[in-house]
């Protein structure tokens, strides 16, 4: 196999846009989610995030990385104010609208409206969900972790409830991502549909692939 070595000095010498694209996409696929929040004055806000991650199952925690606060970060301000937000899975059918939410709309503009997605309220949770999304998650703010290396912030939320489209939750507890055509993002601009290739028992030392 022929390899291409890119040293840290090669990286520094790359044209800025090329370097950013390469590094942003280097970890492979990241989940595509829309985070909804509400401003102090009650305006609905929606933005795409590719850094949503599972933090732990008990307590049920999820997190995402917020960029440094060098410009106005409406999602961050809103979450700090109401201490609640929603995470909504991006599927193939809404991925283009979802991508449009990354634009810098002013505070008074709802990205739901601007990007043609439907806000929906569930029970008495104050923050809207994306009606078109088959996986809707209501969270309350649990913790902010400052990442000193680059001034980003890990926002951790505790799951209050989950709303799943009927028929996508399997008896095993798995969500059928093939069925919903769940998407993943590489870098900041390229979307993929994910396809299941296997599901295996937890590995033990010495286990062979035939035993999975």
Question: Could you give the string, one character per residue 132-171, with x where binding to ligand FMN holds by CB under 6 A and - elsewhere?
Answer: ----------------------------------------
Q: Does 74 bind ligand FMN (CB under 6 A)?
A: yes
For tokens 């290739």, name the residue: 197
User: Smallest distance from the beta carbon of 106 to ligand FMN, in angstroms?
Assistant: 10
76: phi then psi, degrees, rounded to nearest 5:
-65, -50
Instruction: Give the torsion sign (CA, 73, 79, 82, 84).
Output: positive
Which member of 45, 86, 88, 91 binds ligand FMN (CB under 6 A)?
Answer: 45
By CB under 6 A, tell whether 65 contacts ligand FMN: yes
The size of the interface with ligand FMN (CB under 6 A), counted in residues, is 18
Q: Residue 69: how many CB atoms within 10 A of its CB?
A: 12
Residue numbers at the binding site for ligand FMN (CB under 6 A)? 45, 47-51, 64-67, 73-75, 99, 102, 104, 185, 188
């Amino acid at each position: 196999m022929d390899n291409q070595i890119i040293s840290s000095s090669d990286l520094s010498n790359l044209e800025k846009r090329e370097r950013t694209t390469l590094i942003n996409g280097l970890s492979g696929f990241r989940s595509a989610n829309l985070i909804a929040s509400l401003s102090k004055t009650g305006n609905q806000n929606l933005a795409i995030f590719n850094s949503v991650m599972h933090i732990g199952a008990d307590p049920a925690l999820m997190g995402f990385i917020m960029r440094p606060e060098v410009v106005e970060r409406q999602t961050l301000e809103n979450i700090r104010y109401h201490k609640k937000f929603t995470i909504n899975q991006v599927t193939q059918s809404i991925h283009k609208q979802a991508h449009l939410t990354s634009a810098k709309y002013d505070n008074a503009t709802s990205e739901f409206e601007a990007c043609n997605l439907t806000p929906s309220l569930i029970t008495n949770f104050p923050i809207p969900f994306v009606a078109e999304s088959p996986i809707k998650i209501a969270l309350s703010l649990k913790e902010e972790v400052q990442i000193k290396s680059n001034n980003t912030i890990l926002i951790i939320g505790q799951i209050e409830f989950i709303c799943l489209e009927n028929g996508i939750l399997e008896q095993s507890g798995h969500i059928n991502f093939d069925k919903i055509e769940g998407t993943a993002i590489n870098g900041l601009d390229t979307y993929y549909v994910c396809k299941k290739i296997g599901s295996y028992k937890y590995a033990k030392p010495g286990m062979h692939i035939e035993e999975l």
